Amino acid sequence: MSNERSIAIFGPGLLGGSLALAVRVVMPQCEIRIWGRREEAMTIIRERGLADFTSTDARLVAAGASLVVLATPVTVMESVSRLIIDRLAPDAVVTDVGSVKRSVVGLLEPLFASAGHSFVGSHPMAGSDKAGIEAARADLFKGAACIVTPTAQTSLVDVDRVKCFWEALGCRLLTMSPDEHDRKIARISHLPHAVAAAVVLAGLGKDPSAAHCSGNGFRDSTRVAGGDPDLWTGILLENRSEVVTALEDVVAQTKELLAIISRQDNEALRRFLAEAQKLRALVPPGA
C-alpha cells in the first residue's frame, strides 16, 4: 500500500483527472494537489471536488508534495520540471505518465538528480481516444499494465515507492529499460495509432459517405484514430526512430498481403491470416 502523504498532479486531462479520482478512492488520507495551465480547467476540478489544492502556479502546487506525477504532454515535461525543481520537498519523488521514455528519462533523471531528487519513469497503459478532464474516471487504471522504467542510476527505494503507488491504483506492473519500453510501445501503441489513421484516410478519404456503412470491424480497428492530433504528433515524433522501424514492417507485411491477394493465392492468404490470428491470441484481455 502506498503511504504518500501528498500527491501533486501536473496536467488535469484524462490521465491526470483519472489519477485524482482514483487516489480519492484508494488513498483517502492523501492530499491531492493539481496544476493546470487554464483557470477554466481548475474551475471544473474544484466543482468536481477532485483536489484539495489547485492552482495555475506550478511552484505552489509542487510545494510539500511527496510524490509528483507529470501528466502533461511529453513535450511540456521539461519546462514544467524546471519551474518546480527548487520547490520540491526533501523526500519528493517525481514520476510521469508519458508514452515515450528514452528521451523523457534521459532528460529528467539527471535534471532532478542535480537537485537531490529521484525521477522514476512510468507509463500506465490506460489511455483512451477521449481526452480532457470530462472523460476522467476513477477506474481507468484498474487492471491496466503500468511500465516502470528505472535506469542503473535510479534509487531502488524510490522505484519501490512508485511501484507501490501504481499497485494501489490497481495496475499490474512491468519493469524494463527506457529503450526497451520505446521499442515495445512503438509496436503496440504508437504503430496502431499511425496505422489506424492511415486506414481511416484510405477507407474514407475518397468516399466519406462510406462511413455510414460502418460496422464494428471498422469502428474497432480505427477507434484510436479519434485521439488528439496535437498529443499524438508529439508522441510519434518523439519516438520517431522506433515508429519508423515499425512502420517499415507494416509496409513489408502490406506488400506481401497485396501480392498474395493479387495472385489469388488461397493457401498463402489462409496462412497469413492464421499467423495473425495466432499472434493476436497472445494479447491479454482488456482491463
Q: Mind listing the pLDDT tens digit for each residue in 153-207?
A: 999 999 999 999 999 999 999 999 999 999 999 999 999 999 999 999 999 999 9
CATH number at residue 200: 1.10.3660.10
* Domain-embedded: residue 142: yes
The answer on 146 and 12 residing in a single domain is yes
Over residues 109-136, mean pLDDT: 88
Tens of pLDDT, residue by residue over 253-264, are: 999 999 999 999
What's residue 133's pLDDT? Answer: 78
Tens of pLDDT, residue by residue over 35-72, are: 998 888 888 888 888 899 999 999 999 999 999 999 99
The answer on 98 and 18 residing in a single domain is yes
The answer on 185 and 169 residing in a single domain is no
- For the chain, give the percent of residues with pLDDT over 90: 85
What's residue 287's pLDDT? Answer: 54
What's residue 113's pLDDT? Answer: 96
* Domain-embedded: residue 1: no
Q: How many domains does the chain have?
A: 2
Rounded CA gap, 155 and 157, in Å?
5
* Domain-embedded: residue 286: no
The answer on 160 and 94 residing in a single domain is yes
In this structure, of 56-70, 110-124, 220-234, the range with the lowest mean pLDDT score is: 220-234
The answer on 249 and 117 residing in a single domain is no
The answer on 168 and 107 residing in a single domain is yes
Indicate if the pLDDT at residue 265 is higher than 80. Answer: yes
Sheet arrangement for strand 67-70: 53-55, 31-35, 6-10, 67-70, 93-96, 118-124, 145-149, 172-175
Indicate if the pLDDT at residue 129 is higher than 70. Answer: no
The answer on 206 and 96 residing in a single domain is no
The answer on 204 and 141 residing in a single domain is no
* Domain-embedded: residue 113: yes
Over residues 271-277, mean pLDDT: 98
138 vs 194, residue with greater confidence: 194
The answer on 169 and 116 residing in a single domain is yes
Residue that is last in its domain, among 118, 148, 176: 176
Residue that is last in its domain, among 115, 142, 176: 176
* Domain-embedded: residue 285: no
Range of the domain at 57: 6-176
The answer on 151 and 200 residing in a single domain is no
β pairing state of 118-124 and 6-10: unpaired
The mean pLDDT of the chain is 94
Residue that is last in its domain, among 176, 199, 219: 176
The answer on 197 and 63 residing in a single domain is no
Burial tier of 263 (Cβ tally within 10 Å: 0-12, 13-18, 19+): exposed
* Domain-embedded: residue 149: yes
The DSSP output letter for 286 is P
Q: Is the pTM of this model over 0.75?
A: yes
The answer on 187 and 125 residing in a single domain is no
Rounded CA gap, 70 and 153, in Å?
20
* Domain-embedded: residue 287: no
